[in-house]
Structure 1
Amino acid sequence: MRNHGNADVSRRGLLLGAAASAALTATPRHGQAMPADADEPPAPHPGPVPLMNPVMTRVSLTVNGTAQTLEVDTRTTLLDALREHLHLTGTKKGCDHGQCGACTVIVDGRRINSCLTLAVMHEGGSVTTVEGLGTPAKLHPMQAAFVKHDGYQCGYCTPGQICSAVAVLDEIKAGIPSHVTGSLTDAPQATNVEMRERMSGNICRCGAYSNILDAMTEVAGQRTAGQQNGRDPA
């Protein structure tokens, strides 16, 4: 008859070793934090962080030829200063992230997205919005061309499109190259490719791009003819 004594001892030793290993695993290491007592109440909530009062400042701008002094929060964008403080609502708030171009205005001769810049950054600057380009009685040539060629449908993007179109022709006239300008030594021309590239930051969800391009082409042609005759219509 076989003697199972050694086998019993080995089995017993194995079980004791497993139990000891489990106990060591459950024991926290030196320096390790012990779990909080289940009966201990939770720490009090710190509560809401108190809001800081807005910092107000004065900003002086020339808007559409008129001197304006505003008292604004330093965080106020130029777009909100125009719309909320001066009530010039022609400039539209579209994406509010600088991606659609609906808020385009002309500042010191350059077109910018007014939703991406603070009003305080343009202290002493000259701002032109769509209201400053022309009036219903005397439209700017670009405004008249947009009407003629139906360069708008819903009209929401139109103020930004017109301001950008005016600035684009000024850029070309000044010889400022774009990404598609063939030669940096030659003056850029108001070609379809050139104007499409420069207007790519202005989105028209109605899809009136070809009509907008027709309006710009007409005004560019008027400028060329005017320069040849010794005058510039716009």
Structure 2
Amino acid sequence: MTDKPGYRRPQEGTQPPYLHPTYRSTNLRAPSRPLVFLPHSLSEITGPTIGAERVGDNDHDLTAQHAGEPLGERIIIHGRVLDEDGLPVPGILVEIWQANAAGRYHHARDLHDAPLDPNFTGTGRTVTDADGRYEFRTIKPGAYPWGNHHNAWRPAHVHFSLFGPSILTRLVTQMYFPGDPLLAYDPIYNCVPDTSAKERLIAAFDLEKTIPSYALAYRWDIVLRGREATPMEK
């Protein structure tokens, strides 16, 4: 099958498979039969809207959403959302969620015995500007145990969700940090077969964007589709 005009299909191996046996939960949720293609109608790809117009002033700053300062290392995460031709994609609702500096999520189902931080909820959102740029201020998340295998620890990471013009145009992925020794042992990160594609999940340290005496910075560009696409979760 040839590519449709204006769309370059992802190169084989650059996106994670539905089934990756060492990532145990995929053994239960991966489809066991061939997928059925359901064509979208106009209404499904143009609505309903996601509510980007209701993004608050501090939604992008996870360090300023509560009465006090959260504990941990302050960081800036920024970048651009791009299409397969490297052109900016404006108006994308970008949401993040993450563990706190101790490696615990603000969620009832997180039973890790690390402490919660009353000044850090771990969620934020923003909308890309005309140049496709986004930016968050947050706390660097900690690693945490997750029970997938013996002595399993997730490397520090931030979850990203990107919404297009409708609720069906949503992509979810994870961003990792450079130099993390846990990456070599993480089956979620390593479920992407292609090495160069897998490395696109790792942010780059950005000294120029660092705020002196306040916060380090990381740049992470997200490519939505095509052969250079950022790996997305399934």
With the length of structure 2 as denominator, give the TM-score of the two structures.
0.26
Higher relative contact order (CA 8 A, sep 6+): 2
**When you count helix as a share of all residues, which structure comes out higher?**
1
With the length of structure 1 as denominator, give the TM-score of the two structures.
0.26
